[in-house]
Structure 1
Amino acid sequence: MSENLIQSSSGTPWAEWQHAAHLARATWINPQQLCPPGRRLVLIAPHPDDEILMAGGLLRHFRGREDDLVLISATDGEGSHPGSEQWSEHRLRRQRPLESRQALQQLELDLNRLDWRRLNLKDGALPREEAFLVNHLSQVLRPDDLLMATWRGDGHADHEAVGRAAAQAALARKAQLVEVPVWAWHWAQPDDPRLPWPRAHRIALNEATLACKRKALAAHASQLEADGPRSPVLPPRLLDCLLQPFELVFL
């Protein structure tokens, strides 16, 4: 999968996804079914904001259950604005983790109880770090954990590297793998055969949970605001798909 897919696509609007037969057939599950109390969720996000885009609604259900949650941030997201005068890598390396902290607070998670690991790997270079990621995840994981990662076919090199590393570590440690499409919503077409539809499930989000997810996402201002003549990093059409009353996962 190539990142050219992301750059060349104007984005598939939610209005088209609404007519996707495969999406309509995806089984509904609730957060408690996926990760009941006492079962750990280990979520690895390639960049700050991916944890919200992937699973902001699911994470909201860990309020009061922070001991069951391990959040791993692979990079600090310093590569999101290449060549920008306003957003240098140095500024982004400080700003984006702060945005993540504010976002998690919007989900009402107790950050003092949360096991949040920042790996500080180079943004854009995660394919070269796959062996490190596999080793790190293998040390963190316990059998019966739920490991959530970006999908191996997501069209972004960092997302795919995280997905591959997670799949390898989950297999080795006998953990259950959950993959989440993020950029696929942008470049894929409804009923696109490149997506693993037989594995698709929808985690139901109620109105209150979705409202919290929206607030959490709004904390990532650097990704949502135009940079001079440049469009925002996160296109509105993508956000529309990712802020529906469900989160799509591949089990």
Structure 2
Amino acid sequence: MEPVVTHWADNRAIKGNGTSEAVWQNSGLLSSLPEVDPAILVPPGARAVIVAPHPDDEILGTGGLLAQLSDLGRKVLIIAVTDGTASHPDSAEWPAARLAATRPQETRDALQRLHMKHVAMVRLHLPDGGGETFESQLTEALKAHLEPGDIVFGTWRFDGHPDHESVGRAVTTVAGALDLPCVEVPVWTWHWATPEDSRVPWSRARRIVLDTATLARKIHAIQAFRSQIEADRSTGRTPILPDHVLERLTRPYEVVLI
């Protein structure tokens, strides 16, 4: 989930601290969204396919859902698009080679902390930050890995990060062509959007409620991503995932667009 400063015609910019969690909670919007049951979202016999732009997006966006699907005995495939090697530019502590080795291991540790069963992983090793450059390659890879009966999850097509948006476009395109259900996951949306933002398709938004134990598993899993939650001593940069970002992604529910 590398943050990048982007400027769009409609001002979906990822910069500063973004919209605070207090603003989101005080609005009452999210708590009023309809709930969706994971057992219905991914019915018996179906496989959940989570397409993650960077190592950690699968946990940040759907970690609670993954834990619930594991408890239900559902099969899960995680498709890791990149290895997240661009998260620390010009860092002596976290050069690209170290990130390439570390970040996938962080994902494995996180999945163990979620107590995941019946989970498989495919790594595509596409260029982090590649955005539209890797979109056609990702599209072809998805065609090779998706199967009848899959429920496909990808980051939202308008999430604000180029990699997230390319993943969203590829996922929706291929799922549509194969007539597979597609679920979009907002991740950076909570940073640039506001509760009154008409650009977000709120009519499609649903809450996946996490009980206390499931939320605790998700938070424990996020803590596996040390490269992202600790400051970079070599550059003096703050964590990639500071507290104000994690606060928006560790609610007692996850929001998806269906």
TM-score, reference length from structure 1:
0.93
- Structure 1 residue 32: Cα displacement: 1.1
Q: 3-state DSSP class of the match of 2:104?
A: helix
1:44-59 to structure 2, matched below 5 A, reads 44-59=51-66
Q: CA RMSD in A?
A: 1.8
Q: Report the identity percentage.
A: 45
Residue 124 (structure 2) aligns with: 119
Relative to 1, partners in 2 of residues 1:17 and 1:68: Cα closer, same or farther, differing over 3 Å?
same
Task: Quote the Cα distance in structure 1 between the aligned partners of 2:53 and 2:201.
Answer: 21
Residue 148 (structure 2) aligns with: 143
Residue 129 (structure 1) aligns with: 134
- Structure 1 residue 172: Cα displacement: 0.4
Task: Quote the Cα distance in structure 1 between the aligned partners of 2:237 and 2:13.
Answer: 15
| Preserved contact between residue 54 and residue 82 of structure 2 (Cα < 8 Å) | yes
- Structure 1 residue 81: Cα displacement: 0.5
Q: 3-state DSSP class of the match of 2:122?
A: strand
Query: Does residue 236 in structure 1 map to residue 243 in structure 2?
Result: yes
| Preserved contact between residue 44 and residue 51 of structure 1 (Cα < 8 Å) | yes
| Preserved contact between residue 55 and residue 247 of structure 1 (Cα < 8 Å) | yes
- Structure 1 residue 156: Cα displacement: 0.5
Alpha-carbon displacement from aligned partner over 1:128-158 (angstroms, at most 9, x marks no partner) = 1111211221222233421000001111000
Residue 41 (structure 2) aligns with: 34
Query: Does residue 80 in structure 1 map to residue 83 in structure 2?
Result: no
Task: Quote the Cα distance in structure 2 between the aligned partners of 1:231 and 1:187.
Answer: 19
User: Which residue identity does 2:97 align to in structure 1?
Assistant: H
Task: Quote the Cα distance in structure 2 between the aligned partners of 1:85 and 1:245.
Answer: 37
Where in structure 2 are there 5+ consecutive unaligned residues? none
Task: Quote the Cα distance in structure 2 between the aligned partners of 1:242 and 1:56.
Answer: 10
1:67-216 to structure 2, matched below 5 A, reads 68-110=75-117, 113-216=118-221
Task: Quote the Cα distance in structure 1 between the aligned partners of 2:53 and 2:178.
Answer: 21
| Preserved contact between residue 9 and residue 187 of structure 1 (Cα < 8 Å) | no
- Structure 1 residue 65: Cα displacement: 6.1
| Preserved contact between residue 12 and residue 237 of structure 1 (Cα < 8 Å) | no
User: Which residue identity does 1:89 align to in structure 2?
Assistant: A
Task: Quote the Cα distance in structure 2 between the aligned partners of 1:148 and 1:156.
Answer: 17
Task: Quote the Cα distance in structure 1 between the aligned partners of 2:82 and 2:6.
Answer: 18
Q: 3-state DSSP class of the match of 1:41?
A: strand
